[in-house]
């Protein structure tokens, strides 16, 4: 079987090829959209990362395609309706970084609560070891609000318990036995927002969670709270977040994702900002992202919460299982259109 594999790291090519010896695996550097000239008429399977946007135009380049294996848990970069229309199955990696992403969320929390980046920058810029304006706050005794109590959220709850925090959880599916075992309480979203000193988001991105935090319910957030988003940028309405930072509702934020993530170069960004008749929505996105990146109380990282040696290997191993299962005619980890 011919498999088109995009965005593979150098080590990954040898690793994957060795484990799919009876198949013709074609590796491409970069994502599908960065290789517009690539068209594989005989490819039956496609393996991509979240940087590849898969819709009808991309699917048309692979006319015999029957399977898309995304090397991610999230699948909002794939047009499931377009795949279903062509009878193409989609598989994801349902679990790989439960501890990995939760640990990164707390890395952001600790960096903000103890002003670590500011302290390092101060020493780098001035060479002085002053403690002025660097006072932080304890996590012990604070209330942690975990939005989404799935695999990653549960690990965030465990870590919060380890710091001696009171933990509230919000999820559409409640598990009383789990809450009792881990010692946290479920709460409605509004109650969680109003009661939490730190809010960390661990929900998938879909039609139900888009702008889960928005201009209406952000007004209910406990004044001075910290917001952490290692999920998807679209979970948070960017303009509402900026407003909450400006009026002090949110004192600081750690964002591994932005609503308008992209690969716009500085030249393209400058052209957009100076164009006579710019695209209004794109211009707003650039300005909003720039505001968040430059804000002294916001840490922005480039979607790396998942990115550890161990987690990436788990992702690739599960993807190989998904491809092998498809080849054997027993597909696993199928993503449904209404998921």
| Ordered DSSP codes for 82-98 | HHHHTT-EEE----S-H
Residue labelled with tokens 């964002």: 255
How far, in Å, CA of 294 to CA of 158, rounded? 32
Percent of the chain with pLDDT over 90: 81
Choosing from 191, 239, 261, 269, the catalytic residue is: 261
Strands 24-28 and 45-48: unpaired
Q: Taking residues 162-184, what's their average pLDDT?
A: 97
Residue labelled with tokens 């995304």: 70
Read off the pTM. Answer: 0.87
Please state, in angstroms and as integers, the Cα–Cα distance from residue 45 to each residue in 73, 91, 320, following that order.
Answer: 18, 11, 12
For the chain, give percent helix, strand, coil, nearest 5. Answer: 40, 15, 45
Of residues 256, 269, 305, the one with CA closest to residue 72:
305
**Mean pLDDT score across all residues of the chain:** 91
Q: Is the pLDDT of residue 272 over 70?
A: no
How far, in Å, CA of 144 to CA of 167, rounded? 5
Q: What is the pLDDT of residues 211-262, one digit of tens each?
A: 999 999 999 999 999 999 999 999 999 999 999 999 999 999 999 999 876 5
The region, left, alpha or beta by phi > 0 then psi within -120 to 50, assigned to residue 200 is beta
Q: Taking residues 162-180, what's their average pLDDT?
A: 97
Residue labelled with tokens 């211009």: 283
How far, in Å, CA of 140 to CA of 153, rounded? 19
Residues 6+ away with beta carbon under 8 Å from 295: 245, 253
How far, in Å, CA of 296 to CA of 294, rounded? 6
Instruction: Report yes or no: 185 and 167 within 8 Å, Cβ to Cβ.
Output: yes
61 included as an active-site residue: no
How far, in Å, CA of 118 to CA of 135, rounded? 11
- Any idea where the domains of the chain sit in the sequence? 2-96+309-327, 98-300
How far, in Å, CA of 164 to CA of 232, rounded? 27
Q: Taking residues 71-93, what's their average pLDDT?
A: 94
232 included as an active-site residue: yes
Q: In the structure, what pLDDT confidence band is assigned to residue 269 with cuts at 50, 70 and 90?
A: very low
Q: Are 2-96+309-327 and 98-300 in the same CATH fold?
A: yes
Q: What is the pLDDT at residue 268?
A: 45
Q: What is the pLDDT at residue 261?
A: 65
Looking at per-residue pLDDT, the higher value among 101 and 259 belongs to 101
Within the chain, residue ranges assigned H as helices are 10-19, 56-59, 80-85, 98-113, 116-126, 151-162, 176-182, 189-195, 238-247, 266-274, 280-294, 309-327
Q: What is the pLDDT at residue 264?
A: 45
Q: What is the pLDDT of residues 3-17, one digit of tens each?
A: 999 998 999 999 999
Q: What is the pLDDT at residue 95?
A: 87
Choosing from 61, 71, 115, 232, the catalytic residue is: 232
Q: 287: how many CB neighbours lie within 10 A of its CB?
A: 15
Report whether CATH 3.40.190.10 matches the domain 98-300: no
Q: Is the pLDDT of residue 266 over 50?
A: no
Q: What is the pLDDT at residue 323?
A: 97
Q: What is the pLDDT at residue 287?
A: 73
Q: Is the pLDDT of residue 276 over 70?
A: no
Q: In the structure, what pLDDT confidence band is assigned to residue 141 with cuts at 50, 70 and 90?
A: very high
Chain mean position to CA 87: 28
Please state, in angstroms and as integers, the Cα–Cα distance from residue 20 to each residue in 99, 121, 137, 255, following that order.
Answer: 29, 47, 51, 37
Residues 6+ away with beta carbon under 8 Å from 304: 104, 256
Q: What is the pLDDT at residue 274?
A: 46
CATH number belonging to the domain at 2-96+309-327, selected among 3.40.50.300, 1.10.10.10, 3.40.50.261, 3.40.50.720: 3.40.50.720
How far, in Å, CA of 63 to CA of 30, rounded? 21
Q: What is the pLDDT of residues 25-72, one digit of tens each?
A: 999 999 999 999 999 999 999 999 988 999 999 999 999 999 999 999
Instruction: Report yes or no: 67 and 44 within 8 Å, Cβ to Cβ.
Output: yes
Q: What is the pLDDT at residue 281?
A: 64
Q: What is the pLDDT at residue 131?
A: 86
Q: Is the pLDDT of residue 285 over 60?
A: yes
How are strands ordered across the β-sheet holding 225-229? 185-186, 166-170, 143-147, 198-201, 225-229, 250-255, 298-300
Q: In the structure, what pLDDT confidence band is assigned to residue 130 with cuts at 50, 70 and 90?
A: confident
Q: Taking residues 278-299, what's their average pLDDT?
A: 78
């Amino acid at each position: 079987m011919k498999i088109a594999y995009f965005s593979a790291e150098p080590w990954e090519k040898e690793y994957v090829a060795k484990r799919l010896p009876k198949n013709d695996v074609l590796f491409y550097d970069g994502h599908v959209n960065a290789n517009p000239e690539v068209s594989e008429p005989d490819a039956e399977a496609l393996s991509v990362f979240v940087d590849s946007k898969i819709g009808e135009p991309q699917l048309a380049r692979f006319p015999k395609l029957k399977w898309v294996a995304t090397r991610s848990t999230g699948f909002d970069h794939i047009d499931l309706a377009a795949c279903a229309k062509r009878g193409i199955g989609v598989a994801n990696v349902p679990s790989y970084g439960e501890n990995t992403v939760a640990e990164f969320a707390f890395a952001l929390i600790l960096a903000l609560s103890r002003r670590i980046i500011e302290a390092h920058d101060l020493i780098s810029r001035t060479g002085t070891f002053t403690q002025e304006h660097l006072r932080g706050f304890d996590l012990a005794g604070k209330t942690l609000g975990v939005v989404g109590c799935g695999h990653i959220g549960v690990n965030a709850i465990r870590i919060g318990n380890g710091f001696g925090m009171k933990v509230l959880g919000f999820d559409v599916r409640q598990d009383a036995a789990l809450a009792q075992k881990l010692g946290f309480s479920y709460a409605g979203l509004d109650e969680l927002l109003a009661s939490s000193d730190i809010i960390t988001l661990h929900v998938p991105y879909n039609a139900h969670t888009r702008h889960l935090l928005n201009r209406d319910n952000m007004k209910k957030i406990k004044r001075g709270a910290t917001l952490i988003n290692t999920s998807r940028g679209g979970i948070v309405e960017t303009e509402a977040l900026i407003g909450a930072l400006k009026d002090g509702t949110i004192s600081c934020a750690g964002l591994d994702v932005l609503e308008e993530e992209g690969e716009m170069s500085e030249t393209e960004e400058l052209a957009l900002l100076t164009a006579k008749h710019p695209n209004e929505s794109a211009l707003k996105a650039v300005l909003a992202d720039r505001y968040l990146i430059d804000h002294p109380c916001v840490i922005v990282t480039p979607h790396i919460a998942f990115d550890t040696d161990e987690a990436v290997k788990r992702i690739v191993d599960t993807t190989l299982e998904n491809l092998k299962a498809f080849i054997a005619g027993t597909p696993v980890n199928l993503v449904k259109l209404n998921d």
